[in-house]
Every structure is written in structure tokens, then in C-alpha cells.
Chains A and B, each alone.
With several copies, the nearest count.
Chain A
Amino acid sequence: MNKEFAKPEEYGLADLLCCAASREVQDNEIVFAGTGLPMVAIMLAQKTHAPNLKLIFEAGTLDGRPPEIPTSVGDARCEMGASRSSGLHDAFSIAQRGYVDLGFLGGAEVDQYGNVNTTCIGDYLSPELRLTGSGGNPDINSFAKRTVFIMVHEKRRFTEQVSYITSPGWRVRNWPGGETVHRRELYGAAYRGGPSAVISTLGVFRFDEESGRIYLDTCHAGNTPEQIRDMCQFDLDISRVSGETLPPTREELHYIHEVLDPEQIFIPKVKPV
């Protein structure tokens, strides 16, 4: 199939994010997927460069091969073609046991160490806005070797310090004291890695495992490193930018729109001008 890159007018931002996320997956990996764009990204990887990846849905579907995109991890479509339809105890036990290579997650806020908040905006004890809560975000992030966050980029979301650490980044709190330590010091046998990338609507960010700090890796077309730095409340490291985020290929766009999400449940189709 046509592996040429598509032209800018042929795809939208959601397509770009989906393809960038898909390329984080390597073949044969065991991937823990949430609902929405991550699921499209993983299934895209399955159709293209990672045919042997194994998909786990938090609700209990193990090595799933849904024929159509499920709209939720509890969806009946998850069960079809799976190795097992089971429950949460299996899904989380498998994760804690160390089987999971990669998890895709989202967040409302992220800080420079990859700590993510999905719990509340403002003081936890008197929040401005209560959000959905953690879900499995901290669990997948605790147990997987790598996690990738997909986020809408607004300056208030790329914050100096998240209101509430829902999901552990590279430098976390050592409770009950609360002093900041490297994740490695806290996790012991469960230390297998941590957040490896944030894919925002402006660019792709990665982390330095030692310092635990985020840096800009690639900019999506039309954004400069400096512009992206201005869109962060913390001082973004732009010294390691490797170039522009690669656009979707025609093959990828075909799979997204003709095979995986023809109903445009998660990814709208760019209308020809």
C-alpha cells in the first residue's frame, strides 16, 4: 500500500496525533489501551508495522482483536477475537506482574516531570473543578515499561506543578513526608520505566530518564520550538529538537478512515476543500 506521506490538506490534527501515537508501538509489544484516540492508534499499529502486538483492555479483555473500534473498554466489540474475556483482576494482575510494555493515557494537566492530573483543578480539598478521577491512569503508568500521553495543548495544561498528582511521572512524592524523589527510588521491583512521550496538539515531547525532565522532540508542522515553549508554564527544554513530526502516510489515513473509524467516532475526516 501507499506509504508516501500525505499532503497537509489531506489530514487533520487528529490524524497526525493518531499516527504519531501509533509509531510509539513496536511489534510484539503488549499494550494497555484506553478508549478513544489511543485505541485507534494501537489498532492502526496492528494494521501496519506491529501486526503481533497484544492489546489489553482494562475491563478484562486480553489480547483483543476487535473487528471494529470499540467505543469503550467495556464494549461488546472488545470480546470478539480476543484470547480471553475476563475481568479487572486479571488485567491489573497481569500489569503488576510486569507483562505490559506500553500504555496510552490522557490527562488534563502535565508538569515538567511527567506527573499527570485527571482528578481536579485547584486545591484538592476545595477544588475549582472536580474531574473524572484517576481511573486506571496511575496503575498503567506505575506498571508499564513506557507510557505515552496524548493531550490537548493549552498553556494552563502544561503546568509548573499539577494541582494533584494523579499519575506518577519521573519525579514523584515520597509519602508520608512528601519530599520529591526520582521514581526509581520509590518503585523498587516495580520500577520498569515511566512516561516516555507526551503527544500534544503542538508537538511530541520526551523525557530524560535521569533528570526526569521533559524536552521537546518534534514540532507538528506550523509550530516552532519557541512557540511551543511559550505554550508551557515551565521552562521547556528545546535544545534537543530533532525536527518536524512526520505526517501520516496515505496507508495510515486509509486504515484510519476506511477501516478503523469509518463512522468518525473518534477521528473526524478532513473534508476536501
Chain B
Amino acid sequence: MSSGKRITLQQAAEIVKNGSSLTFSGFTIWRRPFALVYELIRQRRKGLHLIEVNGGPQTEFLVGAGCVDIWESCWVGHELYGKYGANLSRKVGNKEILVEDYSHAEMLFRFSAAASGAPYAVTQTSLGTDIHNPAYDTLGNAGLRDGRRIPLHKYRFTEDPFFGAGAQVMVPAAKVDVAILCVQQVGEEGTVRVNGQFYSDPEVARAADVTIVMAEEIVPEEYLRRDSDLNTITSFEVDHILEVPFGAHPTGMFGRYDVDGAFLKDFYGRTRTQEGFDDFAKEWIHGLDHLGYLEKLGWPKMLNLKANTALKYSTGVKRGQ
């Protein structure tokens, strides 16, 4: 059965409007929906509000390109290939972006709450840190807390009334307009099968109002439904699907291809300045489409990144370089 969920990369990017709030699949430098991130940059999207369980190269690309007004998360960097987010850091320094800091577990619990339709979660993490410092409520200080997309408070404190467990932090549900996922397989009706760690993909898919899934392969829905206990996200939680091979590059995809560390290192090294970013974007983003990008990367590189199907990672990549 065809569900009519299939769209193009260009259509997918058009679903994200100027000012939309947005989140992604993956973890740091793994399974980030890069083909669509590039397309958003090409379409010169503005005023995005990124709400991420954790950030990564996709954050740095969108921030560097000036697409982002608000970044709400806990971490950004390129792991071994760039130890912090130089573009974000530059824009923070220039006060060109608002940053709202939570801890990693807080972000996760915020998405879990949204995914289960609860307005908030209670947790004991990060008590006593400056994450809870009332003076550091960036969105509140900017007068943006409208109680709709942006909660009325960054957090609230309470006490456990049931077991005397003590102070609790209430963290608001992370509600987002659009989630963009990048996975190994999606069925024609939207069923997603993630291989390996699924990170926080199930939560972000359900927390969003619109969920777009980019997959290495669109596979017959029947194939996935033959073993329904292996699937990760339900058909009806997915609104749009598209097939984009190598769509996570330069980030990696479990079982398919490794992180392109050299590419990330080059990005990190070249984009300390806005001029550097613009130059990088001119070379690798603007004027290309996804196939043009793959052509430019070339066969030797892509074959080298390709995972060994038994080991699930590439044996050709010289790691750490």
C-alpha cells in the first residue's frame, strides 16, 4: 500500500519554515540528517529555533549559515574532530544567537515528557549547578516565554511528597514543530527500523508535530512488518519520508558508513571565522544538490567510509585523522 508520504529533499526543506522549531535524530556525530540540513542552508532558512537533545556538526552548519536564532540544548562539538562548536561560540560572543542551557539528561527527559504527552518531567539531575541559576534564563530574559512553544518557565523546583526523596527539578516538555530523522530503513507507510543504538530518535519523532524521515533506503512496508518487534518508530508517527543514500555524511550511520573525520576536521579548522564558513559553504553546499555533493566527495572516499557488513564499521578508515 502506498501512503503518499514520499517527498523530495526540496519539499522536505520547505516544510521547515522561517521561525520553525526543529530537532534531529542521532547523537553528536552520528546519523544527522545532513542532506536536508544542506538543503535548508541552500534555501536560506532564517530564524530557526533548534531544540536538540545534543548538538553536533548539523548545529554548527546551520548556525554558521545564519539560519538559527535560538539554540536550546546541552552540547555542541565534533567529538574527536573538533572539540567545540566554533561557529556557535563566535555567534554567542557576538550576541547573534540566544543559547538556553539544560543538562543532557534534562534535555532527554524533556523530550520524553513531550513524547508521552506530559507537560513536564521531574528529575534530580544537575541540582545546585548554574544550569538552574535563575539569572541565566536566556529565553526568559529575552521575553520569549509565551507558554505555547516556549514554556512559561525554564524550570521549577518542587519537593517529592511521596517518599521524601527531596528536591526535584521540573523540566518542561520539549515541544517542536518539526523533527528530521536520518535512519537506515523506512517503509513506504512510515515504519522505521533503526539498527544499533537508537539514541533519542523515538522520543524526538513523537515530540514533534511533523516528523520527516530520511532513510538510506525506502523498503517495502511488508518487509518491516514481517518482524514487527524489530522496528523503532510507528508508521503513523511519521508524516513524510524520503530516500537519500549517504544522507548523513559527514556524520556516520551504524552498519552503513563511518564518520568522515577528515571532512569534519577540515570544517572545524576552516570555519572559525564567518568568512571561513562562507568559503566552506560555497565549496560544499551552495550550487550543489545531493548527487552533486556525492560526486564531489567521490568514489574512493565513499568506498573507504563504507562499513564492513560483518563488523558494522569501516575497516578502511584511519581513525582519529
Could you tell me the distance between the alpha carbons of A175 and B156 in the complex, rounded to whole angstroms?
A: 10
Is the CB of B12 closer than 8 A to any CB of chain A?
no
Number of interface residues of B (CB under 8 A): 100
Question: What per-residue 1/0 map shows which CB atoms of A178-198 lie under 8 Å from chain B?
Answer: 100101001111110000000
As a 0/1 sequence over residues 221 to 239 of chain B, the CB contacts with chain A under 8 angstroms (1 = contact) are 0101100110111111100
Pairwise interchain contact A76-B101, C-beta atoms closer than 8 A = no
How far apart are the CA atoms of A253 and B85 in the complex, in Å?
Answer: 34
Taking the nearest CB of chain B, how far is it from the CB of A135, in angstroms? 4
B residues in contact with A95, CB < 8 Å: 105, 117
From known contacts A59-B27, A89-B200, A265-B319, infer whether A186 and B128 are also in contact, taking CB-CB under 8 Å.
yes
> By the criterion of a CB under 8 Å from any partner CB, how many residues of chain A are at the interface?
84
Task: Tell me, yes or no, whether A263 is within 8 Å of chain B by CB.
Answer: yes
A83-B191, A88-B108 given; A76·B252 CB < 8 A = yes
User: Would A93 and B117 be within 8 Å (CB), given that A138-B129, A173-B129 are in contact?
Assistant: yes
Tell whether A74 is near chain B: CB-to-CB under 8 Å: yes
Q: Which residues A108-167 have CB closer than 8 A to chain B? A: 115, 119-120, 124-139, 142-143, 164-167
15 more A-B residue pairs beyond the given contacts A59-B28, A88-B108, A136-B74, with a C-beta to C-beta distance below 8 A:
A59-B197, A74-B252, A81-B225, A83-B190, A84-B232, A88-B199, A92-B104, A115-B129, A124-B133, A129-B93, A132-B83, A133-B75, A134-B103, A175-B132, A190-B125
Nearest first, the 8 closest Cβ-Cβ pairs linking A and B are: A188-B166, A172-B128, A96-B117, A189-B165, A93-B116, A265-B320, A74-B30, A139-B105
19 interchain pairs, CB-CB under 8 A: A35-B80, A59-B27, A74-B31, A76-B311, A78-B197, A79-B312, A80-B312, A83-B228, A87-B197, A90-B234, A96-B123, A127-B92, A130-B93, A131-B89, A135-B75, A168-B128, A172-B129, A173-B128, A188-B124
Is B15 close to A, CB under 8 A? no
Establish whether residues A173 and B104, one from each chain, have CB atoms under 8 Å apart when the complex forms: no
Known contacts A72-B30, A74-B30, A85-B196; A96/B124 CB under 8 A? yes
* Cross-interface CB contact of A65 among B99, B225, B320, cutoff 8 Å: B225
A54 touches B235 (CB 8 A): yes
Q: Kindly specify which of B253-261, B274-282, B296-304 makes contact with the partner chain.
A: B253-261
Chain B residues in 8 Å Cβ range of A75: 30, 252, 313
**What's the minimum C-beta distance from A96 to chain B, rounded to whole angstroms?**
3
Cβ of A71 under 8 Å from chain B: yes
Give the distance in Å from the alpha carbon of A167 to the alpha carbon of B105 in the complex: 12
B167 in contact with A127 (CB, 8 Å):
no
A132–B76 touching, CB < 8 Å = yes
**CB-based nearest A residue for B29:** A72
Q: Is the CB of A135 within 8 A of B54?
A: yes
Report B-chain residues with C-beta under 8 Å of the C-beta of A223. none
Residue from the set B74, B133, B201 with the largest chain A CB neighbour count within 10 Å: B74
**Contact string against B for A residues 249-273, beta-carbon threshold 8 Å, 1 for contact and 0 otherwise:** 0000000000000011110000000
Compute how far the CA of A124 lies from the CA of B261 in the bound complex, rounded to whole angstroms. 31
CA of A143 to CA of B117, assembled, Å: 10
| In the complex, A222 has a CB within 8 A of chain B | no
A207-246, CB under 8 A of B: which get 1 and which 0? 0000000000000000000000000000000000000000
Task: Please give the distance in Å from B110's CB to the nearest CB on chain A.
Answer: 12
Q: Which of A78, A93, A126 has the most C-beta atoms of chain B within 10 angstroms of its own C-beta? A: A93
| B146 → chain A closest CB, angstroms | 15
Report yes or no: A79 in contact with B203, Cβ–Cβ below 8 A. no
Determine if A82 and B225 form an interchain contact, defined as CB atoms under 8 angstroms apart.
Answer: yes
Chain B residue numbers with a CB within 8 Å of A60 are: 27, 197-199
CB B50 to nearest CB in A, in angstroms, measures 13
Contact A166 B166 (CB under 8 A): no
User: Measured between alpha carbons, how far is A79 from B135 in the docked complex, in Å?
Assistant: 41
The interface residues of chain B lying within 8 Å CB-to-CB of A96 are 105, 116-118, 123-125
Q: Do B234 and A83 have beta carbons less than 8 Å apart?
A: yes
CB distance B199 to A59 under 8 Å?
A: yes
| Contact between B117 and A87, CB atoms less than 8 A apart | no
CA distance A59 to B197 in the complex (A): 7
Q: Which residues of A contact B102 (CB under 8 A)?
A: 134
Roughly how many angstroms separate A134 CA and B157 CA in the complex, as a whole number? 20
Report yes or no: B198 in contact with A87, Cβ–Cβ below 8 A.
yes
* Chain A positions within 8 Å of B89 at CB level: 129-131
User: Is B250 part of the binding interface, using a Cβ–Cβ cutoff of 8 Å?
Assistant: no
Complex: A90 Cα to B234 Cα, angstroms: 10
* A contact residues around B75 at 8 Å (CB): 132-135
